[in-house]
Amino acid sequence: MEIHIIGAGLAGCEAAMQIANRGCKVKLHEMKPQKRTPAHKTDLFGELVCSNSLKAMRVESAAGLLKEEMRRLDSFLMKCADRCSVPAGGALAVDREQFAKLVTEGISSHPLIEVVHEEITEIPNDAITIVATGPLTSDALAKAIENRFGGSLSFFDAAAPIVTADSVDMEHAFTASRYERGGDDDYINCPMNKEEYERFYEALISAERAPLHDFDVNNPKVYEGCMPVEVMAQRGEGTLRFGPMKPVGLINPKTGHRPWAVLQLRKENAAGTMYNLVGFQTNLKFPEQKRVFSLIPALHRAEYVRYGVMHRNTFICSPKILNSDFSVKENKNLFFAGQLTGVEGYMESASSGIVAGINAVRVLQNLPTLSFPVDTMIGALSAYISDPTVKKFQPMGANLGILPELTQRPRDKRERAAAYAARALNSMNQFIKENMGD
The C-alpha atoms of residue 247 and residue 311 are separated, in whole angstroms, by 29
Looking at residues 200-219, what average pLDDT do you find?
Answer: 73
Q: Are residues 396 and 423 in the same domain?
A: yes
Q: Are residues 305 and 320 in the same domain?
A: no
Report pLDDT for 53.
Answer: 86
Q: Is 348 helix (H, G, I), strand (E, B) or coil?
A: helix
Backbone dihedral angles phi then psi of residue 41, each to the nearest 5 degrees: -115, -15
Least confident of 56-60, 271-275, 298-302: 271-275
Looking at residues 316-336, what average pLDDT do you find?
Answer: 95
Q: Are residues 168 and 305 in the same domain?
A: yes
Residue 153 confidence class, pLDDT cut points 50, 70, 90: low
Residue 426 confidence class, pLDDT cut points 50, 70, 90: very high
Looking at per-residue pLDDT, the higher value among 374 and 268 belongs to 374
Residue 218 confidence class, pLDDT cut points 50, 70, 90: very low
Q: Reading across the β-sheet that carries 174-175, which strands appear in turn?
A: 174-175, 187-192, 261-267, 274-277, 162-164, 304-306
Report pLDDT for 182.
Answer: 59
Of the three residues 279, 312, 345, the one that is the final residue of a domain is: 312
Of the three residues 285, 312, 339, the one that is the final residue of a domain is: 312
Encode pLDDT of 77-127 as tens digits. Answer: 999 999 999 988 889 999 999 999 999 999 999 999 999 999 999 988 889
User: How many structural domains compose the chain?
Assistant: 2
For the chain, what is the mean pLDDT?
A: 89
- Is residue 198 exposed (0-12), middle (13-18) or buried (19+ Cβ within 10 Å)? middle
Looking at residues 227-239, what average pLDDT do you find?
Answer: 92
Backbone dihedral angles phi then psi of residue 307, each to the nearest 5 degrees: -85, 160
Least confident of 78-82, 91-95, 223-227, 355-359: 223-227
Kindly compute the dihedral angle of the four CA atoms of residues 358, 364, 368, 372, in this order, to the nearest 10 degrees: 10
Q: Are residues 135 and 164 in the same domain?
A: no
Looking at per-residue pLDDT, the higher value among 223 and 130 belongs to 130
Looking at per-residue pLDDT, the higher value among 121 and 216 belongs to 121
Residue 214 confidence class, pLDDT cut points 50, 70, 90: very low
Q: Are residues 271 and 324 in the same domain?
A: no
Looking at residues 378-402, what average pLDDT do you find?
Answer: 88
Q: Are residues 304 and 351 in the same domain?
A: no
Least confident of 77-91, 290-304, 383-397: 383-397
Looking at per-residue pLDDT, the higher value among 179 and 176 belongs to 176
Range of the domain at 183: 159-312
Q: Are residues 292 and 174 in the same domain?
A: yes
H or E segment and range at residue 424 = helix 413-436
Residue 52 confidence class, pLDDT cut points 50, 70, 90: confident
H-only helix segments in 185-279: 194-206, 229-233
Looking at residues 289-310, what average pLDDT do you find?
Answer: 93
Report pLDDT for 437.
Answer: 66
Least confident of 50-54, 277-281, 377-381, 404-408: 50-54
Please determine, for residue 432, whether its predicted confidence score (pLDDT) is greater than 70.
yes
Residue 296 confidence class, pLDDT cut points 50, 70, 90: very high
Looking at residues 401-422, what average pLDDT do you find?
Answer: 91
The C-alpha atoms of residue 181 and residue 67 are separated, in whole angstroms, by 19
Q: Are residues 320 and 229 in the same domain?
A: no
Q: Length of the chain, please?
A: 438
- The CATH number assigned to the domain holding 400 equals 3.50.50.60
Of the three residues 262, 277, 312, the one that is the final residue of a domain is: 312
Please determine, for residue 433, whether its predicted confidence score (pLDDT) is greater than 70.
yes
Q: Are residues 285 and 349 in the same domain?
A: no
Report pLDDT for 215.
Answer: 40
Please determine, for residue 226, whether its predicted confidence score (pLDDT) is greater than 80.
no
- The CATH number assigned to the domain holding 166 equals 2.40.30
Query: What share of the chain in percent tops pLDDT 90?
Result: 65
Please determine, for residue 66, whether its predicted confidence score (pLDDT) is greater than 90.
yes
Least confident of 172-176, 267-271, 368-372, 376-380: 267-271
Q: Are residues 139 and 250 in the same domain?
A: no
Kindly compute the dihedral angle of the four CA atoms of residues 374, 379, 381, 385, in this order, to the nearest 10 degrees: -90
Report pLDDT for 219.
Answer: 41
Q: Are residues 218 and 180 in the same domain?
A: yes
Please determine, for residue 269, whether its predicted confidence score (pLDDT) is greater than 80.
no
Report for 38-47, 180-189, 271-280, 307-316: range of highest mean pLDDT: 271-280
Report pLDDT for 42.
Answer: 77
Looking at residues 244-256, what average pLDDT do you find?
Answer: 93
Q: Are residues 237 and 303 in the same domain?
A: yes
288: left (phi over 0), alpha (psi -120 to 50) or beta: alpha
